[in-house]
């Protein structure tokens, strides 16, 4: 299994929640803390934040998560 990582520039927690229709009010931890599965049909909504093109492929799994970078 091969893994690719793509940075999503200007992505926010609110964009993830709205795109994936997540209500985290009942979660122990907020959406920003964990990884979230992304259905293939939602990949284009996230791909526009990438620096290089990405097409969703059948049989592949996609996730979005947040990483903190030191300032």
Q: pLDDT tens-digit profile of 10-68?
A: 888 888 888 989 887 877 766 666 788 899 899 999 998 888 888 888 888 998 887 66
pLDDT confidence band for 1 (50 / 70 / 90): low
> What confidence score (pLDDT) does residue 45 get?
92
Residues in the chain: 71
Domain spans, the chain: 13-64
Q: Helix (H, G, I), strand (E, B), or coil: what is residue 33?
A: helix
Residue 71 clears pLDDT 60, i.e. is over it:
no
- The rounded distance, in Å, linking the Cα atoms of 41 and 28 is 27
Q: Helix (H, G, I), strand (E, B), or coil: what is residue 15?
A: helix
Q: Helix (H, G, I), strand (E, B), or coil: what is residue 51?
A: coil
Query: Which of 44, 38, 36, 35 is closest to 62 using CA atoms?
Result: 38
Q: What are 55's two structure tokens?
A: 């097409």
> What confidence score (pLDDT) does residue 55 get?
82
């Amino acid at each position: 299994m091969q893994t690719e990582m793509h940075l999503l520039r200007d992505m926010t927690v609110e964009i993830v929640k709205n795109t994936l229709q997540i209500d985290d009010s009942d979660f122990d931890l907020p959406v920003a803390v964990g990884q979230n599965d992304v259905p293939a049909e939602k990949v284009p909504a996230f791909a526009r934040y990438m620096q290089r093109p990405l097409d969703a492929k059948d049989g592949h799994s996609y996730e979005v998560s947040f990483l903190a970078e030191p300032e």
